[in-house]
Structure 1
Amino acid sequence: MGLDERVVDVGDHVDDGVPHAHDGVLRVGHLVSRSKDGRGYPVRSDALTSAGGPVTAPNPTAATGEADRYRLPRTVVPSHYDLVLEPDLGAATFTGTVAIDVEVVEPVDEIVLNALDLEIDRATLVGPNGTRLAGSVTYDADTERALIDIEDAAAPGRWRLELSFRGELNDKLVGFYRSTYVDEDGATQTLAVSQMESTHARRAFPCFDEPDFKATFAVTLVVADGLTALSNAAEIADEPTDDGRRRVRFATTMKMSTYLVAFVVGPLEVTEAVTTRGGVPIRVAHPRGKGHLAPYALDAAVFCLDFFADWFDIPYPGDKLDLVAVPDFAFGAMENLGCVTFREVLLLIDPESATQPELERLVDVVAHELAHMWFGDLVTMGWWEGIWLNEAFATFMEMLATDAYRPEWQRWVSFGLSRTAAFDVDALAATRPIEFPVISPEDAEGMFDLLTYEKGAAVLRMLEQYLGPDTFRDGIRRYISTHQYGNTVTTDLWDAIEESSGEPVRRIMDSWIYQGGFPAVGVDLEQDRHVVRLTQRRFQALDPKGSEPDATEWSVPVTLRVGRGDESTVERVLLEGDTTTVDLDRPADWVHVNVDGAGFYRVRYSPAAREALLAHRGQLAAIERYGLVDDAWAAVLADELDAPSFLALVRELAADEDDLSVWQRIAGGLGALDRLVPAPAREAWTATVRALARPALDRIGWEPAAAEDERHRQLRGTLVSLLGTVGADDEVVARSRALHDRHLAGEKGLDPALVAAAIEVVAGSGTAEDFDAFAGRVRAASTPQEEVRYTYALADFPGAEELDRLLAMTLTDEIRTQNGAFVLRRALLNRENGPQAWAFVQSHWSEISERLPSMSMVRMVEGVRALSTPELAAQVEAFFAEHPLPQATKTLAQHLEAMRVNVGVREREADRIAAAVTD
């Protein structure tokens, strides 16, 4: 499943591929290896010994039987579902029947399965000889289960459980729900859509809703004539019914988990199929009139499916693939086998008007979901604590596939932004291990955060680069081939890679998976530059109310480049314990640790090593220069470097920097400092920003060159946005306004990166008239990307009245519920009016909670981190003491800690940076 937001505010950050202003606050995320029976956690005796003892997997059920409240008994096991659903879109209801082939393992007089918000009208257990046992149904709402009492005990053997049921097409974007769009004629059209992950299949049909209860599914949808019906497998029959509807039957799926079952019914159009090299037909289903926006995604999907079939060395496990654009969708996308659902903005696109990040984001999400067809669908975690591995691996694979699809985008370089977002979460005392015990559905929902996706992908990338790509891939192939159609635990993966590589993979990875946090690796050149000394200690941002970092240690796969003149060599070493040394055969002029930025650790150079490295920075790759800026800003958050020193580093690097990602990170740091500058120093501050960034814009010019690559075009947009917002550059603002006027007038051929930047710049100084124009453009947008750009930019306006208008819109259908949380979060990030947005959130908490999807609430709350005055921070903490978020307890704690970190930065650095720019 793709998160609704992935790259989080580290400069030109991206929500669904949309560039934002440079608000620069500390970011945190939004979204434990069991034994085969799902009850205990295996730990090898050679597990890494840390300062606190061996790194071992936690056992959530050793002390209590709490997990048993939510785990179904294994006395009845499903093997096949015959499911018939009849949705009534007008009434927002559905009825259904399901016949489940089960194996009764031991005599039972009660069958327990999952059901939520359903009424089961009839239950019968049918034996192989025709015996029919009636069942009476009761419900346990707390554990989301239906208990079926059978009139007589059922003996072990094969039975069929027949159920009839009914429910509502809800408006919560989970289970079987309704979505709407306005068609080209202005009429509202309604769809019925499913979203089952993590534990929402039970809202659509009674089922054994746990990932290791794999079964096959034969779905039939009875729908009104004229509607499109889609499910996981190929359509095998479409027959009229006696009442004027149609009965659409689909082939039986492979063996899979309930959370992957999908059905979509509604007024959709479907493109002609295109076929992969392996013969898989791929289509895009979309709201009527939007077929012209589908070809780019189709092209990417064909490439990715072929790429993954080759990489895994196993054919795609489905019989067809539909990519479905859904108008209302809580996540980014969902990897239902053969029927992948997406937000429109992540599937439908006009490549002529889209920015490079928007195109990249679309390919990323398509690749992510298709990687899941193997890693997640074909091989599935045994229980929800393993969801990190599905999502982390799919995130890793999206980078691999996108980089192969468009090498010029330098996807592993731009992944630095995602890694930074994960670093920012993991630098908090309130972080968590990547894998942790999951007991309840709320626990499962809490897994979908940046630690699961971005940190997980980052540590996989670190392992891949340490072992070598071919060795890593061989281990993955062994894992997939061994466990296809089954369920696994995390250690199954490490063991497969260890067998292929001969390296202590489980020992290395246990230290990263079962411990929160990460190290800062210290670097020094000693003994006349013949020895590189490496040390490690836990890195932690400074929370004024927090405690000192503990003595946690990791098994750190370190890569370092040793430079001598214009030549360099790469060394690899496993840093275990607090110190290790690398002996060199001859003196080094300089050394750079973390080659290609693949390691998930910060780097701290001694003064002499740092000076030597900066003198040779021209020999560093872009992602390595990015790391210099990123590590320096992290040091400010940890109170290891002051803001003026960070600014001095940026000045030095910016003088000749021309990489997009490096400038995005510079812009993020400058945006963070922008929040600290007192009013008397603001004019001097904006002049400082202009002096830093204007030479870079002057070097590349305002007009794109014919042969210019997409990243260079996006760099221009980043610089324009930085100068027009943080730098308050009058010329840039004027030119942006003129460009935006041309865009509103319908002029074709304008550079998309400049148009997106101009929208940000105009919003940042916008008037009431501009607000009206933006709101109108939301309604009249020609692409999903333009709609989202203008929707989110409404939160950047400086006027209090305009913000009031926007905040009121979030409680109406003027802002889709899927976007409402992100609009409110961005309003909280508004440098001038964040407190006003917070007052609105407090006073309308009940309405917001009722309206927005449950999982998106914590995304909205992320914005409180920008409220970095002590008075506001105290208000926020007091409010959430009374208004917890049970579906995201840990993430909320992270948001609050990050807010306190920002309070501390303000208190330490505001006067320092003011003095630095006014001297």
Structure 2
Amino acid sequence: MPEHDLNRLPTTVVPSHYDLELIPDLDAATFTGTEAVTVVVAEATDTLILHALDLEISEAWLQQDDVRIEATPSFDTPSETVTLTLSTPAEPGSWTLHTSFTGELNDKLVGFYRSTFVDDAGVTQTLACTQFESTHARRSFPCWDEPAFKATFAIRLVVDDGLFAVSNAMETAVDELPDGRRRVHFAPTMHMSTYLVAFIIGPLEASETVDVDGVPLRVIAPPGKADLTPFALDVGAFSLHFLAEWYGIPYPGDKLDLIAIPDFAFGAMENLGCVTFRETALLLDQDHSTQAELQRVADVVAHEIAHMWFGDLVTMGWWNGIWLNEAFATFMEMLTTDAYRPEWERWTDFGLARSAAFDTDSLTTTRPIEYEVVTAADAEGMFDVLTYEKGASVVRMLQQYLGEDRFQAGIRHYLDTHKFSNTETTDLWDAIEHATGEPVRQIMDSWIFRPGHPVIGIERSADGTSLTVTQDRFSFQPDAAAGVELPTEEPRSVPVVLRLGHGDETSLHRLLLTEHQATVEVEHVPDWIVGNHEGNGFYRVELADAELATLAASALEVASPLERYGLVEDEWALILAGRGSVAGFLNLARSLANEEDLSVWQRTIGALGSLSRTAGDDNEASFEGWVRALLGPALQRLGDTRVPGEPERTTALRASLFDALARTGNDTSRREQAAAHFAALGENPAAVDADLADAVVRVVASTANADTWEELRRRAAAARTAQDTLRHQGALADTDDTSLVLRFCELCLTDEIRAQDALFLLRRALANRHASAEVWTFLTERWEQITTQFPSSTVPRLIEGIRGITDRKLATQVVEFLEANPPKQGATLVRQHIERMWVTVALADRVPAELGAALG
């Protein structure tokens, strides 16, 4: 075989069109296929190199008019390629490559795979599904499986009678075959990458078709779930219309199907015209779903439809640019959901996702948003919180800095210029610069190609007529055992927007901070200072103690919910970094005791939960009392039950406060109330509203005995929706009875728990403060089974559970094991989990004394 780059295909032969037929055998879990690929040979060659993995090629030849050149396949597993050696060289020109091949419908949730479900009659049904991103189309048909090799695809599927078949484009014809099967023809697609090809075959049903500006839209699901599709259909129709208008370009496909797959490794996948989802991200019962569950479906549907333009129509040239696809789609999901349901205050709620990004980006083991991608494993590592949430945050920061209209004009120019082609990140910055005249590359390069983020310090002069604004790289203070050190770095371009209050007036001060320090002159001596106006900047703010106390005292009157959220977030982060005080944080929480915003309370409750985890036995009772004193009046103001017509976020806030009071505050009366609600829900699923019911399950599970635990398990098995199943299955991991947690761990390795969910549920068990040591032992004893039974890309997600470990001895054992038994994928993610674990260990060493002093 000739030598070639193991990670990139040569460009001497390039595809332009695939004529592809697949014949799956669902009972045997195999498939056969044929393809005729139109290719352009740029220079004479006697070999063609393309991708193929886990396939057998029985026949291959190259055809040009009446010239036929036989080809002999030779597979190279490390590079996942096949070399077709030609019997005679092919001259430059247009040729057609013909192949016949076979493969297995695997159970790994990638490539062409099988998914099963049990129907209402108790019969197990099988689907054949696809998941090709990043590099798994090669498991289904020989192809040029890199994003830059765009082509059109005409797909035919041969299926058993009675089975539903769907692909990227509209169905154009059906041939009835002599053996009773059907050959379903689909129209050619637009020019697109192989990772966006999709086809699904099985016992499925389609909803009504909705016409959205001439585009037919459907939701497709397993039989018997038609009543769970209307919400997705509604949000899908809104999103499709909204996004086509916002982008200024018609939808690029000929139809759009949203398809629920019982077994799906990701949340969803943006296949052109054939978007696939796990059920929890698409199907729900609107009358018995929490506000968060409704919002998740809206978000994911909007995210995937946003991709139809940004990702599908215009695609990154190589996997290093995948951040741009995902970050921009995440940004657009917020924009779209906010337009769909303004009362959800989606940009305020985005603070929670930004917090997760900040958390990882505060580690020395963080990475740049964009980095060099060499291998397929590198590409898989891109799908993390930094790509999605940090990426979306810096896009939001740019949008707010430039102004919404100018930013939109830049995006439209980018899409129109590069439609049907491939791009690099710099193409986007150039397009926005063209539309705005602003130095967008200068601003964004320091955020995209460099890891971390700054902390902005603000100090006023002695006379108060100027402010000194500084920037430094922010980092948590890891335990010495983590063995990491923060490097010094050059300043980056930070679009800082300050809001100052003086009397009844406020003023904005915009500053592109490009040095370590700058001075801002102010006309009036400020009464208070907000260092990150509306929370748009992806940076922390560190205020002097006096400035913090002044702002906190008036925050409920002068700061927006996003700004108050940022205040809580930043002060908690400063504690983790060893730069803040527990007493100061508790004082801030007291200042916000009359807070009414859901997101601000959620961030405060999260921090209080972390303090509870690290408080130490001597402080436990007094801290629980402090939590009850803070949260009790807030819940009392809302009342025990939902008031007709109240905002959905208010209903969700009641549930959050109830949960925190019962668990973090150990409020006996709320635990008793939860037990009563739980019993009532067993008789009537509508006994309390969905948000409170969700909280009730968590509260009851936290102290569940064997009988209650079995009842949770029974309700999980009997649940009709995927959300309700996961609600109860996840709760099985939360009990303070270690023996029951270990029983749950055993269940996660059986068919009772879907493979797509098992490792995420094991992560929840590992994060259980009462059982982390025992669960870790379980995982080490079953490591070989876990790492072979489940997709390798999900193993690092399981390890995330170590981030909450507080015991130094256990943390050391974790590190030693992972060094000796590293997962196959996600090395960077695992290093981040380990460093964050040491941050928690260091926090657990500091908090007891500080908390004890603060509580008096």
Query: What TM-score do the two structures reach when normalised by structure 1?
Result: 0.92
Is 1:256 the counterpart of 2:195? The answer is no
Question: Matched residues in 1 for 2:254 and 2:459: separation?
Answer: 56
Q: Is the 8 A contact 1:539 1:549 kept in 2?
A: no
Alignment match of 2:707 (pick from 761, 769, 777): 769
Q: Report the equivalent of 2:781.
A: 843
State the one-letter code of the partner of 1:748: A
State the one-letter code of the partner of 2:55: L
How far 1:68 moved relative to its partner?
2.6
SS of the residue 2:608 aligns to: helix
SS of the residue 2:485 aligns to: coil
Q: Report the equivalent of 1:125.
A: 62
How far 1:549 moved relative to its partner?
4.8
Q: Is the 8 A contact 1:67 1:440 kept in 2?
A: no
Question: Matched residues in 2 for 1:732 and 1:123: separation?
Answer: 70
Q: Report the equivalent of 1:143.
A: 79
Q: Is the 8 A contact 1:525 1:609 kept in 2?
A: no
Q: Is the 8 A contact 2:677 2:687 kept in 1?
A: no
Q: Is the 8 A contact 1:678 1:914 kept in 2?
A: no
Moved more, 200-209 or 637-646: 637-646
Q: Is the 8 A contact 1:763 1:797 kept in 2?
A: yes
Aligned pairs (5 A) from 1:638-717 = 638-654=577-593, 656-717=594-655
Question: Matched residues in 2 for 1:392 and 1:335: separation?
Answer: 14
How far 1:322 moved relative to its partner?
0.5
SS of the residue 2:646 aligns to: coil
Moved more, 317-326 or 612-621: 612-621
SS of the residue 1:516 aligns to: coil
Q: Report the equivalent of 1:795.
A: 733
Question: Matched residues in 1 for 2:207 and 2:317: separation?
Answer: 36
Q: Report the equivalent of 2:272.
A: 337
Change (3 A) 1:866 1:615: closer
Q: Is the 8 A contact 2:22 2:158 kept in 1?
A: yes
Q: Report the equivalent of 1:305.
A: 240
Is 1:74 the counterpart of 2:11? The answer is yes
SS of the residue 1:562 aligns to: strand
Aligned pairs (5 A) from 1:539-688 = 539-545=474-480, 546-617=484-555, 618-654=557-593, 656-688=594-626
Query: What TM-score do the two structures reach when normalised by structure 2?
Result: 0.98
Moved more, 726-735 or 393-402: 726-735
CA RMSD of aligned residues (A): 1.1
Cα shift readout 1:115-140 (whole Å, capped 9, x = no counterpart): 0111111110001x221100001111
Question: Matched residues in 1 for 2:115 and 2:782: separation?
Answer: 24
Q: Report the equivalent of 1:93.
A: 30
Question: Matched residues in 1 for 2:807 and 2:488: separation?
Answer: 28
Cα shift readout 1:683-742 (whole Å, capped 9, x = no counterpart): 212111111111100111111111210000000000011011111101101111111111
Question: Matched residues in 2 for 1:190 and 1:652: separation?
Answer: 56
How far 1:786 moved relative to its partner?
0.6
Q: Report the equivalent of 2:421.
A: 486
Q: Is the 8 A contact 1:526 1:532 kept in 2?
A: yes
Cα shift readout 1:434-489 (whole Å, capped 9, x = no counterpart): 00000000000000000000000000000000000101000000000000000000
Q: Report the equivalent of 1:289.
A: 224
Task: Count residues in correspondence.
Answer: 850
Q: Report the equivalent of 2:315.
A: 380
State the one-letter code of the partner of 1:447: M
How far 1:915 moved relative to its partner?
4.0
Structure 1 unaligned residues grouped into runs of 5+: 1-65
Alignment match of 1:108 (pick from 32, 42, 45): 45
Cα shift readout 1:75-117 (whole Å, capped 9, x = no counterpart): 0000000000000000000000111000000011000000011
Change (3 A) 1:552 1:909: farther
Q: Is the 8 A contact 2:766 2:775 kept in 1?
A: yes
Alignment match of 1:198 (pick from 134, 147, 157): 134
Q: Report the equivalent of 2:325.
A: 390
Question: Matched residues in 1 for 2:318 and 2:428: separation?
Answer: 15
Is 1:153 the counterpart of 2:89? The answer is yes
How far 1:547 moved relative to its partner?
1.7
How far 1:658 moved relative to its partner?
1.2
State the one-letter code of the partner of 2:147: P
% same residue: 52
Question: Matched residues in 1 for 2:621 and 2:669: separation?
Answer: 16
Is 1:521 the counterpart of 2:521? The answer is no
Aligned pairs (5 A) from 1:388-537 = 388-526=323-461, 528-537=463-472
State the one-letter code of the partner of 1:172: K
SS of the residue 1:675 aligns to: helix
Q: Report the equivalent of 1:8.
A: none
Aligned pairs (5 A) from 1:832-871 = 832-871=770-809
SS of the residue 2:828 aligns to: helix
Change (3 A) 1:317 1:836: same
SS of the residue 2:525 aligns to: coil
Question: Matched residues in 2 for 1:392 and 1:103: separation?
Answer: 34
Cα shift readout 1:605-624 (whole Å, capped 9, x = no counterpart): 12332233223312100011
Question: Matched residues in 2 for 1:911 and 1:768: separation?
Answer: 36
State the one-letter code of the partner of 2:645: A
How far 1:67 moved relative to its partner?
9.6
Question: Matched residues in 2 for 1:547 and 1:248: separation?
Answer: 59
How far 1:911 moved relative to its partner?
2.7
Question: Matched residues in 1 for 2:487 and 2:89: separation?
Answer: 58
Q: Report the equivalent of 2:257.
A: 322
Cα shift readout 1:591-614 (whole Å, capped 9, x = no counterpart): 211111111000011233223322
State the one-letter code of the partner of 1:798: D
Cα shift readout 1:119-174 (whole Å, capped 9, x = no counterpart): 111110001x2211000011110010011000000000000000010000000000
How far 1:548 moved relative to its partner?
3.9
SS of the residue 1:795 aligns to: coil
State the one-letter code of the partner of 2:780: Q
SS of the residue 1:442 aligns to: helix
Alignment match of 1:781 (pick from 692, 696, 719): 719
Q: Report the equivalent of 1:55.
A: none
SS of the residue 1:152 aligns to: strand
Question: Matched residues in 2 for 1:892 and 1:270: separation?
Answer: 41
Question: Matched residues in 2 for 1:176 and 1:719: separation?
Answer: 45
Alignment match of 1:900 (pick from 818, 822, 838): 838
Aligned pairs (5 A) from 1:185-264 = 185-264=121-200
State the one-letter code of the partner of 1:439: V
Greater length-normalized contact order (CA 8 Å, ≥ 6 residues apart):
1
How far 1:569 moved relative to its partner?
2.2
State the one-letter code of the partner of 1:373: M
Q: Is the 8 A contact 1:523 1:609 kept in 2?
A: no
Q: Is the 8 A contact 2:4 2:10 kept in 1?
A: no
State the one-letter code of the partner of 2:248: D
Q: Report the equivalent of 1:744.
A: 682
How far 1:803 moved relative to its partner?
1.1
SS of the residue 2:74 aligns to: strand
SS of the residue 1:835 aligns to: helix
Question: Matched residues in 1 for 2:118 and 2:310: separation?
Answer: 36
Question: Matched residues in 1 for 2:487 and 2:49: separation?
Answer: 46
Q: Report the equivalent of 1:61.
A: none
Aligned pairs (5 A) from 1:865-884 = 865-884=803-822
